[in-house]
């Protein structure tokens, strides 16, 4: 009827007494925030990991016709690129693109419902605006703090061999570092470490260190080095 009358479909739909149910399309079928019959992500661990990656090296563009989530991964870590791709697909995306940039790959996915799942998006840089968890996000991260930390450390962190000299003797030990300019994101990292019982300390205003042997061993189980 809309085609016959050359009118918008929505106009004809409003004219109908018995209005047909709107057809769900694309990412709406997988958006657990928009489906009353689904309360949690299909893969909550993948969601926690993806949220960590987004808060570190991600960017959600909502000004385009269709929102696009982009996470930038260094060329030096092909395993990270693959893990990011898989997490996007597990959470929402039916299609993921990899766009080569200078020295990095932009892993990206278009989807109308990415803003529903990443409410921390907004204009401006993350460290210049509040980053606060939504009420529904907190229980997910409380159940999967290790996956969230894996996303944070895989984006803005690293596992290094720390070298120190004490009384003329050299020592080498593994150490995790996380660097982020956002005080809110840093507090989320600290909170997640506390949930796992991992000892940490701030060695600079924007830099967190995990160096105790038992703490490093715990992060090795949950995070591990980039690949």
Average pLDDT, integer, range 34-45:
82
In whole angstroms, give the CA distance from residue 69 to residue 55. Answer: 12
In whole angstroms, give the CA distance from residue 120 to residue 202. Answer: 24
Q: What confidence category does residue 225 fall into, taking pLDDT thresholds of 50, 70 and 90? A: confident
Q: State the pLDDT at residue 20.
A: 52
Q: Looking at per-residue confidence, does 69 or 64 come out higher?
A: 69
The residues that bridge with 159 in the sheet, in sequence order, are 176
| pTM (two decimals) | 0.85
Average pLDDT, integer, range 174-197:
97
Average pLDDT, integer, range 170-180:
91
Quick check: 221 pLDDT over 90? yes
CA dihedral 213→172→224→209, nearest 10 degrees, is 70
In whole angstroms, give the CA distance from residue 54 to residue 70. Answer: 8
In whole angstroms, give the CA distance from residue 69 to residue 91. Answer: 12
Q: State the pLDDT at residue 24.
A: 47
In whole angstroms, give the CA distance from residue 112 to residue 166. Answer: 56
Q: What are the structural domains of the chain?
A: 23-222 (3.10.28.10)
Quick check: 121 pLDDT over 50? yes
């Amino acid at each position: 009827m809309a085609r016959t009358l050359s009118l918008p479909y929505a106009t004809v739909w409003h004219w109908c007494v018995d209005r047909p149910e709107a057809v769900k399309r694309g990412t709406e079928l997988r958006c657990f925030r928009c489906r009353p019959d689904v309360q949690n992500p299909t893969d909550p661990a993948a969601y926690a990991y993806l949220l960590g990656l987004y808060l570190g090296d991600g960017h959600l563009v909502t000004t385009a016709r269709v929102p696009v989530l982009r996470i930038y991964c260094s060329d030096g870590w092909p395993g990270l690129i693959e893990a990011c791709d898989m997490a996007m697909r597990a959470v929402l995306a039916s299609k993921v693109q990899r766009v080569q940039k200078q020295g990095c790959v932009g892993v990206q996915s278009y989807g109308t419902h990415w803003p529903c799942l990443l409410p921390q998006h907004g204009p401006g840089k993350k460290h210049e605006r509040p980053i606060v968890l939504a009420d529904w996000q907190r229980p997910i991260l409380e159940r999967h703090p290790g996956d969230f930390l894996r996303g944070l450390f895989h984006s803005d962190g690293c596992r290094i061999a720390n070298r120190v000299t004490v009384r003329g003797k050299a020592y080498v030990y593994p150490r995790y570092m996380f660097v982020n300019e956002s005080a809110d994101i840093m507090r989320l990292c600290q909170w997640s470490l506390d949930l796992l019982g991992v000892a940490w300390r701030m060695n600079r205003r924007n830099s967190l260190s995990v160096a105790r042997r038992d703490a490093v061993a715990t992060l090795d189980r949950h995070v591990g080095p980039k690949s």
